[in-house]
Structure 1
Amino acid sequence: MGVGETVRMPYEWMSFTTDYGLSDGFVAACKGVIARTAPGVRVIDVTHDVPPQDVRRGAVLLAQVVPYLPAAVHVAVVDPGVGTDRRGIALLARDGVLVGPDNGLLTPAAEVLGGIVAAYELTVPDYWLAHVSATFHGRDIFAPVAANLANGLDPGQLGPELDPATLVRLPEPHRWVEQGRLESDVLVVDRFGNVQLAATAGDVHAAGLALGAQLTVRAGDAVLPATLGTTFGDVAPAEAVVHVDSSDHLAVAINGGSAAAHLAVVPGTTVVTLES
Protein backbone atom coordinates (compact mmCIF):
# COMPACT_ATOMS: atom_id res chain seq x y z
CA MET A 1 0.00 0.00 0.00
CA GLY A 2 1.47 3.35 -1.01
CA VAL A 3 2.05 6.29 1.29
CA GLY A 4 -0.43 8.42 -0.65
CA GLU A 5 -3.16 5.84 0.01
CA THR A 6 -2.65 5.74 3.76
CA VAL A 7 -1.60 9.20 4.96
CA ARG A 8 -3.78 12.31 4.75
CA MET A 9 -2.12 15.67 4.19
CA PRO A 10 -2.33 18.50 4.96
CA TYR A 11 -3.55 18.16 8.55
CA GLU A 12 -5.86 20.48 10.48
CA TRP A 13 -4.81 19.02 13.83
CA MET A 14 -1.64 18.39 15.79
CA SER A 15 -1.17 16.74 19.19
CA PHE A 16 1.65 17.65 21.55
CA THR A 17 3.06 15.46 24.34
CA THR A 18 6.13 16.30 26.44
CA ASP A 19 7.81 16.13 29.84
CA TYR A 20 8.41 19.91 29.75
CA GLY A 21 5.87 20.85 32.43
CA LEU A 22 4.18 24.25 32.45
CA SER A 23 6.30 26.21 34.92
CA ASP A 24 8.78 27.22 32.19
CA GLY A 25 8.30 28.57 28.68
CA PHE A 26 9.28 25.43 26.77
CA VAL A 27 5.77 24.49 25.67
CA ALA A 28 4.93 28.05 24.64
CA ALA A 29 8.10 28.34 22.57
CA CYS A 30 7.30 25.13 20.67
CA LYS A 31 3.69 26.14 20.09
CA GLY A 32 4.85 29.54 18.93
CA VAL A 33 7.07 27.92 16.30
CA ILE A 34 4.15 25.76 15.19
CA ALA A 35 1.81 28.76 14.97
CA ARG A 36 4.29 30.80 12.94
CA THR A 37 4.86 27.96 10.47
CA ALA A 38 1.34 26.50 10.29
CA PRO A 39 -1.00 29.21 11.59
CA GLY A 40 -4.13 27.26 10.70
CA VAL A 41 -3.32 24.09 12.60
CA ARG A 42 -5.09 23.38 15.89
CA VAL A 43 -3.01 21.87 18.69
CA ILE A 44 -4.32 19.40 21.26
CA ASP A 45 -2.12 19.15 24.36
CA VAL A 46 -2.10 15.50 25.41
CA THR A 47 0.03 16.23 28.48
CA HIS A 48 3.19 18.07 29.43
CA ASP A 49 3.40 16.32 32.80
CA VAL A 50 5.14 13.13 31.74
CA PRO A 51 7.64 12.52 34.56
CA PRO A 52 10.99 13.98 33.47
CA GLN A 53 12.87 11.69 31.06
CA ASP A 54 10.34 8.85 31.54
CA VAL A 55 10.16 7.63 27.94
CA ARG A 56 8.02 4.58 28.75
CA ARG A 57 5.40 6.65 30.55
CA GLY A 58 5.22 9.07 27.62
CA ALA A 59 4.92 6.19 25.15
CA VAL A 60 2.13 4.55 27.14
CA LEU A 61 0.16 7.77 27.56
CA LEU A 62 0.45 8.72 23.90
CA ALA A 63 -0.56 5.27 22.66
CA GLN A 64 -3.62 5.24 24.93
CA VAL A 65 -4.81 8.68 23.76
CA VAL A 66 -4.21 8.74 19.99
CA PRO A 67 -7.16 6.47 19.08
CA TYR A 68 -9.51 9.20 20.34
CA LEU A 69 -7.88 12.11 18.49
CA PRO A 70 -8.65 13.35 14.98
CA ALA A 71 -6.27 12.56 12.13
CA ALA A 72 -3.20 14.56 13.07
CA VAL A 73 0.51 15.10 13.20
CA HIS A 74 1.53 13.89 16.66
CA VAL A 75 4.60 15.57 18.17
CA ALA A 76 6.07 13.92 21.26
CA VAL A 77 9.22 14.98 23.10
CA VAL A 78 10.53 12.99 26.05
CA ASP A 79 14.14 13.09 25.06
CA PRO A 80 16.90 12.36 27.58
CA GLY A 81 19.27 11.73 24.64
CA VAL A 82 18.81 15.18 23.08
CA GLY A 83 22.02 16.44 21.48
CA THR A 84 23.56 12.95 21.21
CA ASP A 85 23.63 10.67 18.17
CA ARG A 86 20.05 9.50 18.75
CA ARG A 87 18.01 10.07 15.61
CA GLY A 88 15.13 12.44 15.09
CA ILE A 89 12.38 10.69 13.12
CA ALA A 90 9.03 11.05 11.40
CA LEU A 91 6.84 7.95 11.31
CA LEU A 92 4.01 7.64 8.83
CA ALA A 93 1.25 5.42 10.17
CA ARG A 94 -1.98 4.50 8.43
CA ASP A 95 -3.94 7.02 10.50
CA GLY A 96 -1.44 9.78 11.29
CA VAL A 97 2.13 11.02 11.38
CA LEU A 98 4.41 11.08 14.43
CA VAL A 99 7.46 13.28 14.99
CA GLY A 100 10.03 13.05 17.78
CA PRO A 101 13.16 11.22 18.98
CA ASP A 102 13.98 7.66 18.01
CA ASN A 103 14.02 6.30 21.56
CA GLY A 104 10.89 4.13 21.66
CA LEU A 105 8.54 7.01 22.46
CA LEU A 106 6.64 6.99 19.15
CA THR A 107 6.46 3.37 18.06
CA PRO A 108 3.62 2.16 20.35
CA ALA A 109 1.37 5.00 19.17
CA ALA A 110 2.31 4.30 15.55
CA GLU A 111 1.20 0.70 15.97
CA VAL A 112 -2.10 1.83 17.49
CA LEU A 113 -2.58 4.14 14.50
CA GLY A 114 -2.55 1.23 12.10
CA GLY A 115 1.14 0.39 11.88
CA ILE A 116 4.20 2.08 10.41
CA VAL A 117 3.89 2.70 6.66
CA ALA A 118 7.24 4.50 6.32
CA ALA A 119 9.89 6.08 8.54
CA TYR A 120 12.28 8.95 7.84
CA GLU A 121 15.29 10.36 9.63
CA LEU A 122 15.22 14.13 10.14
CA THR A 123 18.47 15.20 8.50
CA VAL A 124 17.48 18.06 6.17
CA PRO A 125 17.90 21.39 8.02
CA ASP A 126 15.72 23.31 5.53
CA TYR A 127 12.73 22.45 7.75
CA TRP A 128 14.36 23.27 11.11
CA LEU A 129 14.89 26.63 12.74
CA ALA A 130 17.97 28.48 11.52
CA HIS A 131 19.75 28.05 14.87
CA VAL A 132 19.48 24.65 16.56
CA SER A 133 20.22 24.33 20.25
CA ALA A 134 21.90 21.10 21.35
CA THR A 135 19.37 20.81 24.19
CA PHE A 136 16.05 21.98 22.71
CA HIS A 137 15.24 19.92 19.63
CA GLY A 138 11.56 20.11 20.53
CA ARG A 139 11.54 23.79 19.59
CA ASP A 140 14.23 23.85 16.92
CA ILE A 141 13.63 20.60 14.98
CA PHE A 142 10.51 18.67 15.95
CA ALA A 143 8.06 21.60 16.12
CA PRO A 144 8.98 23.13 12.74
CA VAL A 145 9.15 19.71 11.05
CA ALA A 146 5.69 18.83 12.40
CA ALA A 147 4.29 22.18 11.29
CA ASN A 148 5.67 21.70 7.78
CA LEU A 149 4.11 18.23 7.66
CA ALA A 150 0.79 19.72 8.76
CA ASN A 151 1.11 22.14 5.85
CA GLY A 152 1.40 19.20 3.45
CA LEU A 153 5.15 18.71 3.12
CA ASP A 154 6.11 15.42 1.46
CA PRO A 155 7.78 13.53 4.35
CA GLY A 156 10.31 12.15 1.89
CA GLN A 157 11.84 15.64 1.88
CA LEU A 158 12.82 15.37 5.55
CA GLY A 159 15.70 12.95 5.09
CA PRO A 160 16.49 9.36 4.17
CA GLU A 161 13.92 6.62 4.54
CA LEU A 162 14.60 4.20 7.40
CA ASP A 163 13.95 0.51 7.74
CA PRO A 164 11.28 0.35 10.50
CA ALA A 165 13.10 -2.68 11.91
CA THR A 166 15.97 -0.37 12.91
CA LEU A 167 13.78 1.89 15.07
CA VAL A 168 14.36 1.84 18.82
CA ARG A 169 11.62 -0.03 20.65
CA LEU A 170 11.05 -0.25 24.37
CA PRO A 171 11.26 -3.66 26.06
CA GLU A 172 7.93 -5.38 26.52
CA PRO A 173 6.65 -5.01 30.09
CA HIS A 174 6.65 -8.09 32.30
CA ARG A 175 3.42 -10.13 32.34
CA TRP A 176 3.10 -13.67 33.63
CA VAL A 177 -0.10 -15.68 34.10
CA GLU A 178 -1.03 -19.01 35.68
CA GLN A 179 -4.27 -20.34 37.05
CA GLY A 180 -5.44 -18.14 39.91
CA ARG A 181 -2.39 -15.86 39.76
CA LEU A 182 -0.80 -13.21 37.58
CA GLU A 183 2.21 -10.89 37.75
CA SER A 184 2.50 -7.60 35.90
CA ASP A 185 4.63 -4.51 35.65
CA VAL A 186 3.05 -1.21 36.63
CA LEU A 187 2.48 0.96 33.55
CA VAL A 188 0.94 4.15 34.91
CA VAL A 189 -0.02 5.70 38.23
CA ASP A 190 -2.60 8.41 37.63
CA ARG A 191 -3.32 11.51 39.70
CA PHE A 192 -6.03 9.65 41.64
CA GLY A 193 -3.57 6.99 42.77
CA ASN A 194 -5.02 4.29 40.52
CA VAL A 195 -2.38 1.75 39.47
CA GLN A 196 -2.62 0.63 35.85
CA LEU A 197 -0.90 -2.66 35.06
CA ALA A 198 0.50 -4.04 31.82
CA ALA A 199 -1.88 -6.98 32.28
CA THR A 200 -5.08 -6.86 30.23
CA ALA A 201 -8.60 -8.24 30.33
CA GLY A 202 -7.32 -11.27 28.43
CA ASP A 203 -4.84 -12.02 31.20
CA VAL A 204 -7.64 -11.98 33.77
CA HIS A 205 -9.53 -14.54 31.69
CA ALA A 206 -6.39 -16.65 31.21
CA ALA A 207 -5.83 -16.71 34.99
CA GLY A 208 -9.38 -17.98 35.50
CA LEU A 209 -10.35 -15.01 37.67
CA ALA A 210 -14.08 -14.22 37.78
CA LEU A 211 -15.94 -11.07 38.83
CA GLY A 212 -16.41 -10.98 42.57
CA ALA A 213 -13.28 -12.99 43.28
CA GLN A 214 -11.41 -12.01 46.44
CA LEU A 215 -7.81 -11.22 45.60
CA THR A 216 -4.57 -10.49 47.41
CA VAL A 217 -2.52 -7.76 45.73
CA ARG A 218 1.19 -7.75 46.55
CA ALA A 219 3.88 -5.20 45.64
CA GLY A 220 7.13 -5.78 47.48
CA ASP A 221 6.25 -6.01 51.16
CA ALA A 222 2.87 -4.29 50.72
CA VAL A 223 -0.27 -6.39 50.78
CA LEU A 224 -3.74 -5.19 49.80
CA PRO A 225 -6.93 -7.29 49.87
CA ALA A 226 -9.15 -6.48 46.89
CA THR A 227 -12.24 -7.55 44.98
CA LEU A 228 -12.29 -8.18 41.23
CA GLY A 229 -15.00 -5.82 40.00
CA THR A 230 -15.96 -3.48 37.20
CA THR A 231 -15.85 -0.04 38.84
CA PHE A 232 -14.89 1.81 42.02
CA GLY A 233 -18.38 1.61 43.51
CA ASP A 234 -18.29 -2.18 43.55
CA VAL A 235 -16.55 -1.93 46.92
CA ALA A 236 -17.16 0.14 50.02
CA PRO A 237 -15.23 3.40 50.58
CA ALA A 238 -11.57 2.79 51.48
CA GLU A 239 -11.72 -0.76 50.08
CA ALA A 240 -9.74 -1.91 47.04
CA VAL A 241 -11.03 -3.06 43.68
CA VAL A 242 -9.18 -4.62 40.74
CA HIS A 243 -10.92 -3.80 37.47
CA VAL A 244 -10.39 -3.50 33.72
CA ASP A 245 -9.93 0.21 33.03
CA SER A 246 -10.89 2.40 30.07
CA SER A 247 -7.73 1.34 28.17
CA ASP A 248 -8.47 -2.38 28.61
CA HIS A 249 -5.69 -2.76 31.18
CA LEU A 250 -6.04 -4.18 34.65
CA ALA A 251 -5.96 -1.53 37.36
CA VAL A 252 -5.84 -1.52 41.15
CA ALA A 253 -7.84 1.23 42.85
CA ILE A 254 -9.09 2.16 46.29
CA ASN A 255 -12.58 3.63 46.41
CA GLY A 256 -11.97 7.20 47.57
CA GLY A 257 -8.28 6.59 48.23
CA SER A 258 -4.91 5.92 46.61
CA ALA A 259 -3.83 2.39 45.77
CA ALA A 260 -0.44 3.75 44.68
CA ALA A 261 0.21 5.20 48.14
CA HIS A 262 -0.80 1.97 49.85
CA LEU A 263 1.34 -0.22 47.57
CA ALA A 264 4.22 2.28 47.23
CA VAL A 265 4.60 1.46 43.53
CA VAL A 266 6.65 3.16 40.83
CA PRO A 267 5.70 2.79 37.14
CA GLY A 268 8.02 0.61 35.12
CA THR A 269 9.96 -0.81 38.05
CA THR A 270 7.39 -2.44 40.31
CA VAL A 271 5.91 -5.90 39.76
CA VAL A 272 2.44 -6.42 41.19
CA THR A 273 1.14 -9.91 41.95
CA LEU A 274 -2.56 -10.77 42.10
CA GLU A 275 -3.62 -14.04 43.72
CA SER A 276 -7.07 -15.50 44.31
Structure 2
Amino acid sequence: MASHPAGPPAARRPCVSLTTDYGLADGFVAACHGVLARFAPTARVIDVTHLVPPGDVRRGAAVLAQTVPYLPVGVHVGVVDPGVGTERRGIALATPGGLLVGPDNGLLLPAAEALGGVTAAVELTNPAWLAPTVSRTFHGRDVFVPVAARLALGAPPGGAGPAVDPATLVRLPEPVVRAETAGFDAEVLTVDHFGNVQLAAPGPLLDGLPSRVLVNGHEAVHGRTFGDAEPGGLVAYVDSAGLVAVAVHTGRAADVLTLSPGDLVTVTTP
Protein backbone atom coordinates (compact mmCIF):
# COMPACT_ATOMS: atom_id res chain seq x y z
CA MET A 1 0.00 0.00 0.00
CA ALA A 2 1.38 3.39 -0.95
CA SER A 3 2.10 5.67 1.95
CA HIS A 4 0.86 9.23 2.04
CA PRO A 5 3.11 12.07 3.05
CA ALA A 6 2.39 13.54 6.41
CA GLY A 7 0.65 16.88 6.36
CA PRO A 8 1.90 19.96 8.18
CA PRO A 9 1.76 19.79 11.97
CA ALA A 10 -1.53 20.93 13.43
CA ALA A 11 -1.50 24.48 14.76
CA ARG A 12 -1.28 24.61 18.53
CA ARG A 13 -4.65 25.42 20.04
CA PRO A 14 -4.49 28.30 22.48
CA CYS A 15 -5.29 27.36 26.07
CA VAL A 16 -7.33 29.34 28.59
CA SER A 17 -7.75 28.12 32.17
CA LEU A 18 -10.41 29.31 34.60
CA THR A 19 -10.15 29.35 38.40
CA THR A 20 -13.05 30.97 40.27
CA ASP A 21 -15.29 30.92 43.31
CA TYR A 22 -18.43 31.02 41.14
CA GLY A 23 -19.74 27.60 42.17
CA LEU A 24 -21.71 25.29 39.91
CA ALA A 25 -25.31 26.08 40.87
CA ASP A 26 -25.64 29.24 38.76
CA GLY A 27 -24.92 30.30 35.19
CA PHE A 28 -21.73 32.26 35.91
CA VAL A 29 -19.31 29.63 34.64
CA ALA A 30 -21.39 28.95 31.53
CA ALA A 31 -21.47 32.67 30.72
CA CYS A 32 -17.66 32.78 30.86
CA HIS A 33 -17.42 29.71 28.65
CA GLY A 34 -19.88 31.34 26.26
CA VAL A 35 -17.81 34.50 25.92
CA LEU A 36 -14.72 32.42 25.21
CA ALA A 37 -16.59 30.29 22.68
CA ARG A 38 -17.78 33.41 20.85
CA PHE A 39 -14.50 35.31 20.73
CA ALA A 40 -11.86 32.55 20.85
CA PRO A 41 -13.68 29.48 19.50
CA THR A 42 -10.47 27.57 18.83
CA ALA A 43 -9.23 27.88 22.43
CA ARG A 44 -9.09 24.85 24.65
CA VAL A 45 -10.65 25.74 28.02
CA ILE A 46 -9.48 24.03 31.20
CA ASP A 47 -11.59 24.48 34.32
CA VAL A 48 -9.18 24.32 37.24
CA THR A 49 -11.97 24.75 39.79
CA HIS A 50 -15.02 26.89 40.41
CA LEU A 51 -15.36 25.73 44.01
CA VAL A 52 -12.89 28.04 45.74
CA PRO A 53 -14.70 29.08 48.96
CA PRO A 54 -16.52 32.35 48.22
CA GLY A 55 -14.17 35.31 48.55
CA ASP A 56 -11.24 33.20 49.79
CA VAL A 57 -8.44 34.91 47.86
CA ARG A 58 -5.69 33.02 49.70
CA ARG A 59 -7.19 29.63 48.84
CA GLY A 60 -7.68 30.66 45.22
CA ALA A 61 -4.10 31.90 45.02
CA ALA A 62 -2.76 28.62 46.41
CA VAL A 63 -4.84 26.48 44.03
CA LEU A 64 -3.82 28.57 41.03
CA ALA A 65 -0.12 28.65 41.94
CA GLN A 66 0.03 24.90 42.56
CA THR A 67 -1.78 24.08 39.29
CA VAL A 68 -0.52 26.40 36.54
CA PRO A 69 2.96 24.83 36.25
CA TYR A 70 1.25 21.64 34.99
CA LEU A 71 -1.03 23.34 32.44
CA PRO A 72 -0.18 24.14 28.82
CA VAL A 73 1.37 27.52 28.26
CA GLY A 74 -1.56 29.87 27.81
CA VAL A 75 -3.76 32.43 29.52
CA HIS A 76 -4.86 31.72 33.07
CA VAL A 77 -7.90 33.59 34.39
CA GLY A 78 -8.39 33.83 38.15
CA VAL A 79 -11.55 35.35 39.61
CA VAL A 80 -11.90 35.37 43.38
CA ASP A 81 -12.86 38.98 43.68
CA PRO A 82 -14.65 40.30 46.77
CA GLY A 83 -13.62 43.82 45.68
CA VAL A 84 -15.36 43.63 42.29
CA GLY A 85 -16.74 47.00 41.23
CA THR A 86 -14.52 48.97 43.62
CA GLU A 87 -11.33 50.87 42.82
CA ARG A 88 -9.25 47.68 42.72
CA ARG A 89 -7.54 47.25 39.36
CA GLY A 90 -8.06 44.56 36.78
CA ILE A 91 -4.68 43.36 35.54
CA ALA A 92 -2.89 41.10 33.09
CA LEU A 93 0.54 39.74 34.00
CA ALA A 94 3.15 38.40 31.61
CA THR A 95 5.55 35.70 32.83
CA PRO A 96 8.03 33.37 31.12
CA GLY A 97 5.46 30.57 31.45
CA GLY A 98 2.26 32.26 30.33
CA LEU A 99 -0.19 35.08 30.99
CA LEU A 100 -2.47 35.68 33.97
CA VAL A 101 -5.64 37.78 34.05
CA GLY A 102 -7.74 38.80 37.03
CA PRO A 103 -8.11 41.29 39.89
CA ASP A 104 -5.18 43.04 41.53
CA ASN A 105 -5.89 41.64 44.99
CA GLY A 106 -3.00 39.21 45.47
CA LEU A 107 -4.73 36.31 43.72
CA LEU A 108 -2.42 36.12 40.70
CA LEU A 109 1.04 36.84 42.08
CA PRO A 110 1.84 33.41 43.59
CA ALA A 111 0.95 31.82 40.24
CA ALA A 112 3.06 34.40 38.42
CA GLU A 113 6.01 33.50 40.63
CA ALA A 114 5.40 29.80 39.94
CA LEU A 115 5.63 30.60 36.21
CA GLY A 116 8.94 32.42 36.51
CA GLY A 117 7.98 35.84 37.84
CA VAL A 118 6.25 38.93 36.47
CA THR A 119 8.02 40.35 33.41
CA ALA A 120 5.32 42.93 32.58
CA ALA A 121 1.96 44.04 33.94
CA VAL A 122 -0.88 46.10 32.48
CA GLU A 123 -4.13 47.52 33.82
CA LEU A 124 -7.25 46.47 31.91
CA THR A 125 -8.69 49.84 30.85
CA ASN A 126 -9.09 49.67 27.06
CA PRO A 127 -12.88 49.61 26.47
CA ALA A 128 -12.39 48.04 23.05
CA TRP A 129 -11.13 44.90 24.80
CA LEU A 130 -14.06 44.65 27.21
CA ALA A 131 -17.76 43.86 26.91
CA PRO A 132 -19.84 46.73 25.45
CA THR A 133 -21.53 47.05 28.84
CA VAL A 134 -19.48 46.13 31.91
CA SER A 135 -21.47 44.97 34.93
CA ARG A 136 -20.25 46.26 38.28
CA THR A 137 -20.49 42.77 39.76
CA PHE A 138 -19.48 40.34 36.98
CA HIS A 139 -16.03 41.32 35.76
CA GLY A 140 -15.23 37.69 35.04
CA ARG A 141 -17.66 37.71 32.14
CA ASP A 142 -17.28 41.35 31.06
CA VAL A 143 -13.60 42.16 31.69
CA PHE A 144 -11.30 39.23 32.44
CA VAL A 145 -12.59 36.63 29.98
CA PRO A 146 -12.88 39.06 27.02
CA VAL A 147 -9.28 40.14 27.66
CA ALA A 148 -8.16 36.51 27.99
CA ALA A 149 -9.84 35.67 24.67
CA ARG A 150 -7.87 38.39 22.87
CA LEU A 151 -4.63 37.34 24.50
CA ALA A 152 -5.26 33.69 23.62
CA LEU A 153 -5.57 34.70 19.97
CA GLY A 154 -2.19 36.40 20.12
CA ALA A 155 -2.94 40.04 20.86
CA PRO A 156 -0.11 41.71 22.83
CA PRO A 157 -0.93 42.46 26.49
CA GLY A 158 -0.08 46.13 25.98
CA GLY A 159 -3.27 46.52 23.98
CA ALA A 160 -5.34 45.96 27.11
CA GLY A 161 -4.21 49.15 28.83
CA PRO A 162 -1.30 51.04 30.37
CA ALA A 163 1.73 49.44 31.94
CA VAL A 164 1.75 48.89 35.70
CA ASP A 165 4.86 48.89 37.87
CA PRO A 166 5.04 45.32 39.21
CA ALA A 167 6.22 46.73 42.56
CA THR A 168 2.76 48.30 43.03
CA LEU A 169 0.84 45.03 42.63
CA VAL A 170 -1.11 43.91 45.70
CA ARG A 171 0.48 41.03 47.59
CA LEU A 172 -1.11 38.74 50.13
CA PRO A 173 0.47 38.74 53.59
CA GLU A 174 3.20 36.14 53.93
CA PRO A 175 1.95 33.12 55.90
CA VAL A 176 3.61 32.40 59.23
CA VAL A 177 6.49 29.90 59.13
CA ARG A 178 8.96 29.70 62.03
CA ALA A 179 11.72 27.15 62.46
CA GLU A 180 12.22 26.10 66.09
CA THR A 181 14.91 24.04 67.83
CA ALA A 182 12.93 20.80 67.74
CA GLY A 183 10.44 21.46 64.96
CA PHE A 184 8.53 24.39 63.49
CA ASP A 185 5.37 26.48 63.59
CA ALA A 186 3.44 27.05 60.38
CA GLU A 187 0.15 28.53 59.28
CA VAL A 188 -2.49 26.35 57.63
CA LEU A 189 -2.42 27.34 53.97
CA THR A 190 -5.28 25.20 52.62
CA VAL A 191 -7.60 22.34 53.52
CA ASP A 192 -8.42 20.16 50.53
CA HIS A 193 -11.49 18.13 49.58
CA PHE A 194 -10.20 15.15 51.59
CA GLY A 195 -9.63 17.16 54.75
CA ASN A 196 -5.85 17.07 54.34
CA VAL A 197 -4.22 20.10 55.98
CA GLN A 198 -1.53 21.79 53.92
CA LEU A 199 0.88 23.97 55.88
CA ALA A 200 2.87 26.93 54.58
CA ALA A 201 6.05 25.11 55.67
CA PRO A 202 8.41 23.90 52.93
CA GLY A 203 9.06 20.16 52.92
CA PRO A 204 12.69 20.33 54.13
CA LEU A 205 11.47 21.56 57.53
CA LEU A 206 10.16 18.05 58.10
CA ASP A 207 13.52 16.48 57.24
CA GLY A 208 15.52 15.38 60.23
CA LEU A 209 12.53 14.99 62.50
CA PRO A 210 12.05 11.50 63.96
CA SER A 211 9.61 8.86 62.78
CA ARG A 212 7.07 10.09 65.34
CA VAL A 213 6.18 13.76 65.74
CA LEU A 214 3.60 15.82 67.59
CA VAL A 215 1.16 17.95 65.61
CA ASN A 216 -0.47 20.42 68.00
CA GLY A 217 0.15 17.84 70.71
CA HIS A 218 -1.31 14.89 68.75
CA GLU A 219 1.04 12.02 67.93
CA ALA A 220 1.59 11.50 64.20
CA VAL A 221 3.73 9.31 61.99
CA HIS A 222 6.40 11.16 60.02
CA GLY A 223 5.76 9.34 56.77
CA ARG A 224 5.78 9.55 53.01
CA THR A 225 2.14 8.73 52.26
CA PHE A 226 -1.23 8.18 53.95
CA GLY A 227 -0.81 4.43 54.37
CA ASP A 228 2.25 4.91 56.57
CA ALA A 229 -0.21 5.53 59.44
CA GLU A 230 -2.67 3.03 60.84
CA PRO A 231 -6.30 3.59 59.78
CA GLY A 232 -7.53 6.60 61.73
CA GLY A 233 -3.96 7.66 62.54
CA LEU A 234 -2.28 10.98 61.76
CA VAL A 235 0.59 11.27 59.29
CA ALA A 236 2.81 14.28 58.60
CA TYR A 237 4.32 14.17 55.11
CA VAL A 238 5.50 16.29 52.18
CA ASP A 239 2.64 16.72 49.72
CA SER A 240 2.62 16.96 45.92
CA ALA A 241 3.29 20.71 46.10
CA GLY A 242 6.43 20.19 48.18
CA LEU A 243 4.82 21.53 51.36
CA VAL A 244 4.34 19.89 54.74
CA ALA A 245 0.85 18.48 55.15
CA VAL A 246 -1.05 16.50 57.77
CA ALA A 247 -3.57 13.79 56.94
CA VAL A 248 -5.56 11.07 58.66
CA HIS A 249 -5.43 7.64 57.03
CA THR A 250 -9.07 7.06 55.93
CA GLY A 251 -10.17 10.19 57.76
CA ARG A 252 -10.10 13.99 57.77
CA ALA A 253 -7.22 15.69 59.53
CA ALA A 254 -8.97 19.07 59.50
CA ASP A 255 -11.81 17.60 61.57
CA VAL A 256 -9.61 15.58 63.91
CA LEU A 257 -7.37 18.57 64.66
CA THR A 258 -10.15 21.19 64.31
CA LEU A 259 -8.09 23.26 61.89
CA SER A 260 -9.00 25.87 59.29
CA PRO A 261 -6.91 28.02 56.91
CA GLY A 262 -5.01 30.64 58.87
CA ASP A 263 -4.68 28.57 62.06
CA LEU A 264 -1.20 28.04 63.47
CA VAL A 265 0.15 24.49 63.76
CA THR A 266 3.15 23.35 65.80
CA VAL A 267 5.06 20.29 64.61
CA THR A 268 7.66 19.13 67.12
CA THR A 269 9.45 16.09 68.46
CA PRO A 270 7.72 14.17 71.27
Match of 1:61 in 2: 63
Q: Which amino acid aligns with 1:48?
A: H
The question of whether the paired residues in 1 share the 8 Å contact of 2:13 and 2:44 is answered with: no
Match of 2:196 in 1: 194
Alignment of 1:30-49 (within 5 A): 30-49=32-51
- What's the offset of the Cα at 1:202? 2.0
Q: Separation in 1 of the partners of 2:73 and 2:51?
A: 23
Q: Separation in 2 of the partners of 1:117 and 1:242?
A: 37
The question of whether the paired residues in 1 share the 8 Å contact of 2:13 and 2:42 is answered with: no
From 213, 216, 229, the equivalent of 2:214 is 216
Alignment of 1:140-151 (within 5 A): 140-151=142-153
Taking every aligned residue pair, what percent have the same amino acid on both sides? 59
The question of whether the paired residues in 2 share the 8 Å contact of 1:119 and 1:161 is answered with: yes
The question of whether the paired residues in 2 share the 8 Å contact of 1:14 and 1:75 is answered with: yes
Match of 1:271 in 2: 264
CA deviation string 1:78-110 (max 9, x = no partner): 000000000000000011000000000001100
Q: Separation in 1 of the partners of 2:87 and 2:205?
A: 39
Q: Separation in 2 of the partners of 1:209 and 1:87?
A: 44
Consecutive unaligned residues of structure 2, counting only runs of 5 or more, are 1-11
Q: Separation in 2 of the partners of 1:239 and 1:112?
A: 33
Name the larger-Rg structure. 2
Q: Separation in 1 of the partners of 2:13 and 2:265?
A: 41
Alignment of 1:39-188 (within 5 A): 39-188=41-190
- SS of 1:176's partner is strand
The question of whether the paired residues in 2 share the 8 Å contact of 1:11 and 1:151 is answered with: no
Match of 2:248 in 1: 254
How many equivalent pairs are there?
258
Q: Separation in 2 of the partners of 1:63 and 1:178?
A: 27
From 24, 29, 46, the equivalent of 1:27 is 29
Consecutive unaligned residues of structure 1, counting only runs of 5 or more, are 1-9
The question of whether the paired residues in 1 share the 8 Å contact of 2:55 and 2:80 is answered with: yes
TM-score (norm 2): 0.94
Q: Separation in 2 of the partners of 1:125 and 1:265?
A: 44
The question of whether the paired residues in 2 share the 8 Å contact of 1:11 and 1:152 is answered with: no
Cα root mean square deviation, aligned: 1.1
Match of 1:6 in 2: none
Structure with higher RCO (Cα < 8 A, 6+ apart): 1
Q: Which amino acid aligns with 1:209?
A: L
- SS of 1:193's partner is coil
Q: Which amino acid aligns with 1:53?
A: G
TM-score (norm 1): 0.92
